[in-house]
């Protein structure tokens, strides 16, 4: 028979237990997950984190690289790719590639009827993107359209980048994608992977083509002497590298950033331009997206062919690969980027000159009237008349399209400042 003291002690223990449960309930009103690459809760190999909806999309961080998930709300975790699977699942569920996870509070989720800490839910390997030609669809009226994205299952494909490509020259005209307003929470310092080209460049080894010594040989054949070629190809300092069209840092998650490393999404770009004004413009656009809280539709492409003087002083169109029998992969003279706010129907065009060896700034470097000196563009922060970093300017989309017919029509838009 329980004594009065024992009864009091039992009641006190029950009270403490209920208080602890209440405290956990209050604290666990939602789940907060950091996606910080080095210190966050999203561990490697990281799964795709998707909304649970009829048409799932990537769940994006709201602030400070944090995912905020209400209590009892569910998300989808996916590990697409051959021989991939979601790890940390109970029992026989360990071979599946996707699962629903329901927030219990803090870092805990209910997965396959068992409680799991989010950090224990990883993939066997990093989710693998898919590159596919869009059947029955073209771009610019007659060119091939490709998509880079994630095939979560047979019914669900998450597109990331749309590519418009000329099948005869193997040249990408532009990449189309979206920079989300949550881009400030992207996974910075995520490792750069190897570049991929698959079977999309038959007869060519694109990794070989971008080696500095190969560029030197090509330039020697094009310009007439190695001495002349060495004026322009300086390994470790100035050379042609792969210039992203859809930039790595324009995507939030590491798996998305990795998916941008396809040659389809690049063109040859001089190193000083790549790390100069064009990089500054890319960062400025991300800052604008975050500051103005806009989901921006982006078109990033190339135009024209740059040139260099040969031993006789004659300008020669520049190609990445040159030998006795062919000239392949023309080096663009211009890079352009259109940022479009579909909701407000406003857009702006950026143009950069891929000619760091030009002796002076000339009128033909401007494809359209420069409006960057207007009030409202100080947020860019570049050096627009620095030739080595890339002569750069801003135009209306309508004016740029008069010179660049490969820019898709957006209709009548206002200027996005």
Which residues sit in the known binding site for Mg(2+)? 274
Contacts of 305 (CB under 8 A, 6+ apart): 317, 318, 330, 331, 332, 333
- Which single residue is written with the structure tokens 């008069």? 402
Distances (CA, A) of 337 to 19, 283, 299: 57, 13, 6
Catalytic residue among 244, 263, 303, 340: 244
Distances (CA, A) of 225 to 231, 238, 311, 313, 320: 10, 18, 7, 12, 16
φ/ψ of residue 14, rounded to 5: -65, -40
The answer to whether 171 and 165 are in contact (CB under 8 A) is yes
Question: Is the previous residue joined to 187 through a cis bond, with omega within 30 degrees of 0?
Answer: no
Q: Which of 118, 116, 112, 22 is nearest to 67 (CA)?
A: 118
For residue 352, the cross-strand partners are 335, 392
CA dist., res. 127 & res. 377, Å (int): 38
Q: What three-state secondary structure class fits 317?
A: strand
Cα Rg, the chain, nearest whole Å: 26
H-only helix segments in 101-225: 206-209, 212-223
HSE at residue 379, side-chain half, CA atoms within 13 A, is 15
CA dist., res. 16 & res. 257, Å (int): 48
Beta strands in 261-409 (DSSP E): 266-270, 296-303, 307-309, 315-317, 319-322, 327-330, 334-341, 346-353, 392-395
Q: For this structure, is 340 an active site residue?
A: no
Task: Tokens for 332, please give them.
Answer: 């663009």
Active centre residues (catalytic)? 244
């Amino acid at each position: 028979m329980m004594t009065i003291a024992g009864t009091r002690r039992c009641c006190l223990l029950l009270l403490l237990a209920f208080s602890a449960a209440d405290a956990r309930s209050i604290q666990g009103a939602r789940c907060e997950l950091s996606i910080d690459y080095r210190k966050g809760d999203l561990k490697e190999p990281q799964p795709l984190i998707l909304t649970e909806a009829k048409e799932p999309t990537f769940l994006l961080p709201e602030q400070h690289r944090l995912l905020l998930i209400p209590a009892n709300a569910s998300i989808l975790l996916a590990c697409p790719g051959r021989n991939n699977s979601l790890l940390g699942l109970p029992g026989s569920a360990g071979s599946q590639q996707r699962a629903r996870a329901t927030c219990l509070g803090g870092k805990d989720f209910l997965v396959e009827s068992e409680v799991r800490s989010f950090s224990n839910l990883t993939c066997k390997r990093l989710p693998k993107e898919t590159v596919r030609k869009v059947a029955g669809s073209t771009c610019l009226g007659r060119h091939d359209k490709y998509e880079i994205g994630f095939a979560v299952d047979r019914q669900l494909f998450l597109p990331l980048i749309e590519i418009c490509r000329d099948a005869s020259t193997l040249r990408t005209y532009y990449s189309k994608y979206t920079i989300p307003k949550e881009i400030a929470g992207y996974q910075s310092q995520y490792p750069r992977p190897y570049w991929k080209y698959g079977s999309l460049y038959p007869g060519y080894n694109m990794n070989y083509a971008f080696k500095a010594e190969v560029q030197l040989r090509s330039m020697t054949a094009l310009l007439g002497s190695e001495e002349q070629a060495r004026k322009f190809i300086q390994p470790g300092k100035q050379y042609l590298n792969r210039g992203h069209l859809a930039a790595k840092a324009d995507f939030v998650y590491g798996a998305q950033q990795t998916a941008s490393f396809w040659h389809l999404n690049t063109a040859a770009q001089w190193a000083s331009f790549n790390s100069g004004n064009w990089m500054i413009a890319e960062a400025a656009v991300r800052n604008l997206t975050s500051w103005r809280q806009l989901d921006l539709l982006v078109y990033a492409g190339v135009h024209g062919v740059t040139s260099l003087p040969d031993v006789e002083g004659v300008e020669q169109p520049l190609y990445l690969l040159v030998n006795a029998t062919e000239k392949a992969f023309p080096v663009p003279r211009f890079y352009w980027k259109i940022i479009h706010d579909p909701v407000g129907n406003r857009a702006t065009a950026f143009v950069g000159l891929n000619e760091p060896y030009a002796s002076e700034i000339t009128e033909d470097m401007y494809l359209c009237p420069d409006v960057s000196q207007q009030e409202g563009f100080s947020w860019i922060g570049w050096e627009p008349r620095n030739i080595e970093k890339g002569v750069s300017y801003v135009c209306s989309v309508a004016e740029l399209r008069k010179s660049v017919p490969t820019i898709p029509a957006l209709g009548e838009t206002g200027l996005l400042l």
